[in-house]
Amino acid sequence: MDKMIVAIVSGKSLTEKDGSTFRPLMQSQGLNTNGFVDFELFDVNSIDDFEEDDFSIIHAHQMSGLLFNNYLADLHGVATRQFKDGVTRHSFLKRKFAELVRLPELEKMEKKLIGNARAIVCAGESIEEFVRPTGKAFLVRNCVDTSKYKCCDYSSARIAVCGPFLRTYQNRYQLDYVIRIAKAFPKLSFLLVGRIEHDDLEILHRLGNIESTGYVEDFAEVLRTCSIMFAPYSSFTSQGGAKTKLIEAAACGMCIVATPYAVCDFFAENVMVAEDAMSLAKHLQYFAESEDVRKAVGHSMKRYVSTNHCYLTETKKLIKIYEEFCN
C-alpha cells in the first residue's frame, strides 16, 4: 500500500455520546483540522464494512483491538486496575462480587490487547505509567476544541453532577453523596445531568434543592447553566468518562470539586479535592458563596485546558505516531 490510510475504530456506537466515544470523535476532528484526512472512522454499527487489508494501520479504541492484527491500542482506562483498587480500599457489597469474578478474564483480555498492539496510545499520565514497561506507550491526552465552549453563567451557583444515574451504571452511587450534602446544606443547589430512575426522581423531588435534566443532547450547553462541577467518583467504580466530563466543564470555565479518583491525570491546581462528603460539601460551599471566586477560578480552569488539552496539539502527536508505525 503506497498511501498511508488509517482506520479509527470505536468499540462502542458513536451515536452514544459519552466519554468513551468523545475521544475518537474529537481525535477525528483534530486530524481533519490539522490537514490529515487519510482516515476512516468505524464503530460497532459499521464494522461489517471493514476490510483490514485496506488500511495501513488500525487505531483501536476500547477493546476493539482484539479483533485485529495490525493495530494501535488506545487506552482510555485500565479496567483491571480499577477492580484491584476497589478490593484494597473498600468492603464490597454482595452485588459487587459478580464483578470481582470477572477480574481474571479482564486481566487476560487486557494483557492480550496490550501485548499484541504495535503501540499503545494512552489517554492520561497514570495509564502511560502503567504500560511504560512495554516500551511502546505514547501519551495523547483527552482533548477539546475550547473555541466551541462558551463560558458558564458565573452568576449561578448551581452545581452540576453528571450521570447517567441508572441502576445498571456503577457511578449511580453519586446520588448518595448529593442527597447527603443537599440535606445538610439546603442552600446548595444541584442539577443532575443525565438519565435517572423514576423511583429516585420521587425521592429527589422531596428535596427542594435538587433538579434533574434526564438525557440531554448538548451536554456542554447544559453545563453552562451551572458554574460548579461536582464529581464524587469512587475508586471501585468505572469512571464513566469522568475525565472527559471534567475537561468539558473546565472548557466552560467551571469550578471543579471532585474525589481523587475522578481527577486522575487532570492536575489543574484549582481543582478542589476531598474524599468524605462533608469535606466535599465545604469546598462546594466555598465556591457557591462568591461569584468573584467562581469567575477567577473558572477562567484559570479554561486557560489550563486550552494549554494542556488542546485538540490541535494532541492530534499532532497522533499524526507522528501514525507516521512512525505506518512506515
Domain for residue 197, yes or no? yes
Q: Is the pLDDT of residue 93 over 50?
A: no
Looking at the fold, whether 314 and 167 belong to one and the same domain comes out as no
The set of cell numbers assigned to 286 is 466555598
Is the C-alpha dihedral spanning 86, 92, 97, 99 positive or negative? Answer: negative
Please tell me the pTM assigned to this model: 0.87
Single out the residue of 175, 63, 168 nearest to residue 116, CA to CA: 63
- pLDDT tens string 173-196: 788 889 899 999 999 999 999 888
Looking at the fold, whether 34 and 78 belong to one and the same domain comes out as yes
Looking at the fold, whether 150 and 299 belong to one and the same domain comes out as yes
Which comes out higher in pLDDT, residue 169 or 267?
A: 267
Q: Is the pLDDT of residue 327 over 70?
A: no
Looking at the fold, whether 130 and 226 belong to one and the same domain comes out as no
Looking at the fold, whether 170 and 284 belong to one and the same domain comes out as yes
Looking at the fold, whether 303 and 318 belong to one and the same domain comes out as no
What CATH number corresponds to the domain at position 232? 3.40.50.2000
Print the domain residue range for 52: 6-143+310-326
pLDDT computed for residue 88 by the predictor: 54
pLDDT computed for residue 39 by the predictor: 96
pLDDT computed for residue 21 by the predictor: 87
Looking at the fold, whether 224 and 240 belong to one and the same domain comes out as yes
pLDDT computed for residue 3 by the predictor: 80
Average pLDDT of the residues of the chain: 86
- pLDDT tens string 131-140: 999 999 999 9
Q: Which residues contact 147 (CB under 8 A, 6 or more apart)?
A: none
Looking at the fold, whether 160 and 295 belong to one and the same domain comes out as yes
- pLDDT tens string 202-226: 777 788 899 888 888 888 899 999 9
Query: Distance between CA atoms of 143 and 23, rounded to whole angstroms?
Result: 8
Q: Is the pLDDT of residue 94 over 50?
A: no
pLDDT computed for residue 260 by the predictor: 86
Domain for residue 1, yes or no? no
